[in-house]
Structure formats: C-alpha cells, structure tokens
Amino acid sequence: MSNDPERIEREVERAREELARVIDQLAVRLDPQKVTEEAKHWLILKLNEPAVKYALLGVGGLFTFLALRRLFGGKKKD
C-alpha cells in the first residue's frame, strides 16, 4: 500500500461518496410514512387471506357468544 497522499485522498473521497449513497438509501427506505404505508398494505393483504379472515371471524363470534352468555345467561338465584 502506497502512502501517496493523492491516492489516499481519492480513496477517502470514494468512501465518503459511498457512505453518502448508503445513508441516502437508508433515509428513503426508513421514511416513517413509507414504512407505515408498507405495513398497512401488508396487514390488509394478510387480513384478506381466507385462513386469517375466517379465524378472526371465529374468534369474534366466540367472544360475542361468551359475552352475551355472561350478560344474559347467568345463574338464577332461587
């Protein structure tokens, strides 16, 4: 490895440019609004899958049944 100052400066400049490029890419990928939109899109896709949709409907129906049973089907005292 040479100690040529000009070559070292060129390498440092290339490293700075690469770092700036990577930081710009991260800033775009980690934009909160973009991340939120992607998460929302993914969630909607998952919730529209038949297995997930019917499982959630089943859990909701069971919860509703148990809540109504507790409200209206409690033990009667004599």
Could you read off the pLDDT of 23-76 as tens digits, one per residue?
999 998 889 999 999 999 999 999 999 999 999 999 999 999 999 999 998 666
Question: How far apart (Å, rounded) are the C-alpha atoms in residues 72 and 30?
Answer: 50
Residue 3 has pLDDT above 80, yes or no: no
Predicted local confidence at residue 2, as pLDDT = 63
The CA–CA distances, whole Å, from 58 to 22, 46, 51, 63, 64 equal 46, 16, 11, 9, 10
Residue 1 has pLDDT above 70, yes or no: no
What's the CA angle centered on 48, arms 44 and 54, to 5 degrees?
Answer: 130
pTM score > 0.85 for this model? no
